Chain A
Amino acid sequence: MLKGKAFKFGDNISTDDITPGRFFHLRSNLPELAKHLLEDVAPSFTSRVEPGDFIVAGVNFGLGSSREHAAVVIKMAGVAAVLAKSAARIFFRNAINVGLPVLICDTDKISDGDELEVDLAGGMVKNLTSGVVLPLGRFPDVMLRILDEGGLIPYIKKHGDFSLQSR
């Protein structure tokens, strides 16, 4: 069970918004890169977000470049999960690979600052502020298994290979 505060963003938050290209030279210095997370969209985000909080966005979160650093620095900021109406496919895959859940739900029912409780196993998010309960979209099984192991690297270290047998 994950519990934290919602930080609300709009539609089409790109990987250039998350990790701007002008910080390209910091990609091998992730703690420095993380200081600039989402700074062009929400300049105070990194100073306000606390471990366990959630990024809550509209459609097509993470569109654009394949830079996995975007998912990595969101995780480094302590964000427990990204909740969005939809996510761009490369970002979605990257996030799961680094152990950051991206959860699809009707985020119109969540406001900035709402307290949320996410039940990953039960597939729902409860808005503790409004009392509304939202169902979460289903993951492909292979992604759930990667996420369960904490990401693709721990998954491969444990299994040595991809495995499509069901759990």
Chain B
Amino acid sequence: MGKTLAEKILSEKSGSDAHAGDIVIAKVDLAFLQDGTGPLALRQLQASELERIATPAKVIIFLDHASPSPSRELANDHILLRDFTRKSGVQLCDVGEGICHQLIAESYANPGEVVIGADSHTVTAGALGAFATGMGSTDVAIAIALGKTWLRVPESFKIVVRGSFKRGVYAKDLALHIIGKIGADGATYRALEFCGENIENMGMSERFTLANMAVEAGAKAGLFSSDETTRRYLESHARSDLFRSIRPDPDAEYEQIIEIDVSSLEPMVSKPHAVDNIAPAKELKGEKIQQVFIGTCTNGRLEDLATAAAILKGRKRHPATRLLIAPASKEVLTQAIGAGYIQTFLEAGGTVLPPGCGPCVGVHQGVLGDGEACLSTANRNFRGRMGNPEAFIYLGSPATAAASAIAGEITDPRELM
């Protein structure tokens, strides 16, 4: 019987003939923690009396969620994490380097690997053909100690994407469309496997966006075959030697096959307080927005900033709408400065935040006021997500975000393109 991407990778990493439903113990190639989940993981590691690190080079700690620290408590958590990396030899990505998932993509994950992180959006690295999934602090602590973890091999949904995006439509709109279609728990415990001509023609940045949002449908992983696009991405990040081709077998078995033609897809927006609560952006015209946030592991890459900058160039944000931009990494920020996007954002009245998670998790750098609405390029709009349960979060593409910042209300970006 042929194998899906999940079955292939987990067979190889468990040294067994693994099929959906099997429980396997898989070798972990890369395990990571961030500043929100790391302190608990280190306490659990200590409690396990297994304070060894299986392969320190493949363990990384990122300070990205509260970065730079907004409080004494979080500054002390950062001290704990930094001290651990010094003592253990584990790699540290400190304040200002960027979001864990972006740095994992730029520098660490490779096709065919098993990547686990104490962060739900670890699925992002699935775009590179890695089996990447989020777990909690204890699971990752034990994986750090043992270099392996247990996994149930997931059933897979094959998402076949055909057609070309119309102008103003992006992978983010497709992600919202898919989640709206199958629901916030539509793929719980499953792997989403993306394929089809649209996916083959899609660049890495948009593949990361799609993989990133797989978890918003409940999925355990969002997987892509590795191809020439993957190879070029690895090459541009100095690790072409780690490219390998990985594809599902033609006779692999899928629990569901979902076919989508994107040629009639429109810019989509997810409404408060659920990611699967979607509507076309044009139907939300008139919804006033007090803050626009462009960034995050979903849409904080150079291509996203380029899209936003093209719309904002020579225009100003609405006076009643704050515009915040957080590049996903230092590399993205550096390139965005070189390309002139940061200048454009500043001239448009934007506020540029340091590389990191920014206001996405409600910790700092743009917590919303009571009754305020934000249009964000992030992946979650749960009540309270951005630090205030009395606020409202809409999700959209960087183009929709830029257009909405100019108009001061939710706006279909095609009106300004």
Residues of A within 8 A of B (CB): 12, 14, 16-17, 20-22, 24-29, 40, 59-60, 63-69, 71-72, 86, 88-90, 93-94, 97-98, 140-142, 151-153, 156-157, 160-162, 164
Question: What are the residues of chain B within 8 A of A20 when measuring CB–CB?
Answer: 362, 384, 387, 389
Q: Does B36 contact A (CB under 8 A)?
A: yes
Let me know if B23 and A94 touch, CB within 8 A: no
Residue of A at shortest CB range from B47? A153
Q: Does B108 contact A (CB under 8 A)?
A: no
* 5 A-B contacts (beta carbon < 8 Å): A28-B80, A68-B37, A86-B185, A157-B49, A161-B146
Let me know if A22 and B387 touch, CB within 8 A: yes
B293 to chain A, nearest CB (A): 14
Count, A-B residue pairs, CB within 8 A: 152
On whether A40 and B389 interact (CB within 8 A), knowing A21-B361, A25-B66, A153-B48, the answer reads yes
Let me know if B25 and A164 touch, CB within 8 A: yes
Question: What are the residues of chain A within 8 A of B77 when measuring CB–CB?
Answer: 27-28
B395 to chain A, nearest CB (A): 14
On whether A89 and B76 interact (CB within 8 A), knowing A24-B363, A67-B36, the answer reads no
Residues of B within 8 A of A (CB): 23, 25, 36-37, 39-40, 44, 47-50, 65-66, 70-71, 73-74, 76-77, 80, 117-120, 122, 134-139, 142, 145-146, 148-150, 152, 184-185, 188-189, 218, 220, 274, 361-363, 367, 380, 382-389
Q: How far is the CA of A66 from the CA of B76 in the complex (A)?
A: 21
Q: How far is the CA of A138 from the CA of B139 in the complex (A)?
A: 21
Question: What are the residues of chain B within 8 A of A12 when measuring CB–CB?
Answer: 184-185, 274
List 16 extra interface pairs beyond A28-B39, A63-B184, A97-B139, CB under 8 A. A16-B362, A21-B361, A21-B384, A22-B362, A66-B122, A67-B36, A71-B136, A86-B188, A90-B134, A97-B136, A140-B152, A141-B23, A142-B150, A152-B139, A156-B145, A162-B150
Q: How far is the CA of A152 from the CA of B148 in the complex (A)?
A: 14
On whether A64 and B382 interact (CB within 8 A), knowing A12-B184, A97-B139, A140-B152, the answer reads yes
Contact of A90 among B73, B80, B135, B149 (CB under 8 A): B135
Residue of A at shortest CB range from B76? A28
